[in-house]
Amino acid sequence: MIQCVRIVLYLSVLVAYVASNAPVAPLDDILIEKTFVPEQCVRAVKDGDYVRYHYNGMFPDGKKFDSSYDRGSTYNVFVGKKQLIQGMDKALVGMCVNERRLVKIPPHLAYGKQGYGNIIPPDSILHFDVLLLDVWNPEDGVQSNTYHTPLICSRKVEVSDYVRYHYNGTLLDGTLFDSSHTRMRTYDTYVGIGWLIAGMDQGLLGMCVGERRIITMPPSLGYGENGDGSDIPGQASLVFDVVLLDLHNPRDGVSVTNQKVPESCTRKTVAGDFVRYHYNGSLLDGTFFDSSYSRNRTYDTYVGRGYVIAGMDEGLIGVCIGERRTITIPPHLGYGEEGTGTKIPGSAVLVFDVDIIDFHNPEDNTEITVTYMPDECIKQTKKGDFVKYHYNASLMDDTSIDSTYNYGKTYNIVLGANQVVPGMEDGLMDMCVGEKRHIVIPPHLGYGERGVTDEVPGSAVLIFDIELVEIEEGLPEGYMFIWNDDVSPDLFTEMDADDNKQVEPSEFTDYIIRQVNEGKGRLAPGFDPYRIIDNMFSNQDRDGDGKITESEFKLKADESASHDEL
């Protein structure tokens, strides 16, 4: 609460009051009445200080003889060095900035019997209404008062560092002359190399990102005798309320701090690898600017090839799957002086908290590890075999994709028939019944850049733990049906059940099915037998009229081309 009381002080001789209607005795010393006292007084005027103040000078009858307000400028002077009339030298001592005093000065402490030209008559008592606006001393230096300190301070401002900060700049009486906040952009500059006024160069040293401090400087370390020509008067003390938002040095490189390193790491990223990772991106003061989590998808890119900013290219080298690290990137390895124009300001240090989900190299092959081998391995899988197996499928971060065990039945395919991704084809080759394998499939041998909607992310490395349950031997390459016995010389006649010299589709199908059931022939396992037979019939029906004549009928061995036929 602002005190506004009328306090009468006698600095030398106590003047006694007389009856209210009686004349007042002549003043022996100055009389001070404090008409406004600020709530806080960080510093009071003492002899040798330099002050700036406004005043109105009046005679006891209220007639004004002088005013700094009328001149539009403060009165600036040293106190206690006989640059003022003696009474004013005494009256200013002990004043605080923004304090207001009504001072009555007797003639012998003013202009005495001589007066002052035709302005102040001899033996005049003078009244001054004084408002103190500024006080400093030639011996003053920069004063810093930190009023907020961040919990973590890994680095402080040093000479030649580049900083970004917000500030409010005021005179000592609180008059605002400038603010970065009103411009909605930070002040960005080097510290300690003369790019700033000397007081700010000194006042920013030792600050931490997130720190808030009041920096007060005398005019000799500010704008000096002349001010800035507009908002800052000459000989003005300056007060800057500063919050430091960013700090780096042009010599800085990428800084990496490991947050989590997996116990097992068989491989680390190298230049040319393709990496899938999640990240949170923030500025050095914690301001969030981007996150892959908010998009619910990883960021997928090559590293070491210039696909990402240079600092991230460097920071993603040498990481393990499952590793979490914080990558701090100076602006010259990030978005530079321009920033992105929206969320990332120019010359901003970037902080990325990354979680490595998986990575691979375009030259990777399917990685096969045998985890169990049965004592006997009589037969191994080959192309064309019909195989039945169980699997557990997951991503590299252990996210489960699918499992045949959940359905209580095996997954059945024909090897080499493109019924599974190429990496699984590789992983199932030369395998024994009962054998178990751990298979790592890079995306170019899996589901590629697109993945599988809602199941497998694009460019994801796949993990399969498989167990081979059964093998049914396939047919030779290029065949969908073979004879187990010698082919009958009367094959066409046997098929032509109604002896009409042509084989109908039903006759053809019935005959082939009968041969298979009697063990005389085999259809390729794993395929729809009727589709195979239909295809065989179409190959024999050379004129496409829906029936086979004896002239059309030929065995596969009789032709050079490979067809699904007899």
Q: If we measure between CA atoms, which residue out of 43, 71, 40, 36 comes closest to residue 57?
A: 71
Among residues 68, 84, 89, the alpha carbon closest in space to that of 11 is found at 89
Dihedral class, residue 32 (left if φ above 0, else alpha if ψ from -120 to 50, else beta) = beta
CA 271/CA 8 separation, integer angstroms: 82
Catalytic residue flag (residue 85) = yes
Structure tokens at 206: 């030792």
Alpha carbon distance 156, 208 (integer Å) = 5
- Active-site hit among 30, 32, 85, 327: 85
For the chain, first and last CA: distance in Å? 109
The C-alpha atoms of residue 300 and residue 297 are separated, in whole angstroms, by: 9
10 is an active site residue: no
Catalytic pick among 28, 36, 59, 66: 66
65 labelled catalytic: yes
Q: Which residues contact 24 (CB under 8 A, 6 or more apart)?
A: 15, 18
Among 277, 384, 293, 377, smallest CA distance to 327 is for 277
355 flagged as catalytic:
no
The answer to whether the CB of 530 falls within 8 A of the CB of 512 is: no
Q: Which of 111, 359, 508, 537 is catalytic?
A: 111
Q: How far apart are CA 436 and CA 450, in angstroms?
A: 29
| Known active-site residue 246 | no
Among candidate residues 50, 53, 55, 411, the one labeled active-site is 55
Q: CA dihedral defined by 135, 137, 138, 143, rounded to 10 degrees?
A: -90
Phi/psi zone of residue 98: left (φ > 0), alpha (ψ -120 to 50 degrees), beta?
left
Q: What are the φ/ψ torsions at residue 69 (nearest 5 degrees)?
A: -60, -40
CA–CA separation, 274 and 358 (whole Å): 9
Among residues 59, 65, 116, 289, which one is catalytic? 65
Q: Is 128 known to be catalytic?
A: yes
Alpha-helical runs (H) found in 478-546: 491-495, 505-517, 529-540
CB 384 within 8 A of CB 413: no
In which element (H, E) is residue 182 found?
A: helix 180-183
- Per the residue annotation, which of 128, 177, 240, 492 is the catalytic one? 128
Return the active site residues: 55, 65-66, 85, 111, 128
